[in-house]
Amino acid sequence: MLKEFKEFALKGNVIDMAVGVIIGGAFQKIVSSLVNDIIMPLITSVTGKVSFDDLVLTIGNTEVKYGSFITTIIDFLIIAFSIFIAIRTFTKLNDRAKEDMQKLVKKQKEEEKAEEPTTKLCPYCLSEISIKATRCPHCTSELAEDVHSSEDSKAE
C-alpha cells in the first residue's frame, strides 16, 4: 500500500496539481490585496467614504457583515476573470500549436508524395518512361507488371 501511494504521489499530475494549488494560493493573496488596498478604497471614495467592511446589518445581538461579503464577491470575480483570461490564452496558444503541427504534417506528406518517382527506366532500351506505362514508347517492348522486381532479380 505504501508503494502504491508513493507511485501515486510521484506521478506528474499530482505534482502539477500541487504546484497549481500553491501558485493559486499566492495568486489569491495578490488579488485580495488588489481588492482590499486598491479597488475597494477607490469604490469607497466614489461612494462617499463608505467602507464596505464597515457595512453591517444588526439583527438582535447578531451582526451580519454583508460589506465584507461584497468585498469577497469582488475578490472572487477578479480571480475568476483572471483564470478565464489565462485559460482562454492557453487555449488559443494550444490551438495555434495544433494548427502548426497539422500544417507541418501536411507539408511532410506533400513532400513524401513529391518524392515518389513518376518515371522509370525501360529494362530493354533503358529509356526514361512514365511509371504507369505498360509499353515502352521508344522500343515498343511490352513491360511486365512489376519491372522493379525483375530488375532486382537480375542484379543479384
- The cell numbers describing 85, all together, are 483570461
pLDDT over 90 at 74, yes or no: no
Residue ranges of alpha helices (H) inside the chain are 2-9, 12-34, 40-46, 66-115, 147-155
Q: Please state the domain extents for the chain.
A: 2-116, 117-156
**Can you give the pTM of this predicted structure?**
0.48
Q: What percent of the chain has pLDDT over 70?
A: 87
Average model confidence (pLDDT) across the chain = 81
- Each residue of 103-131: pLDDT tens digit? 999 988 887 776 777 888 998 898 999 88
Output the CATH code of domain 2-116: 1.10.1200
- At residue 49 the predicted structure's pLDDT band, cuts being 50, 70 and 90, is low
**AA identity, residue 37:** D
d(CA 67, CA 36): 12
Distance between terminal CA atoms of the chain?
63
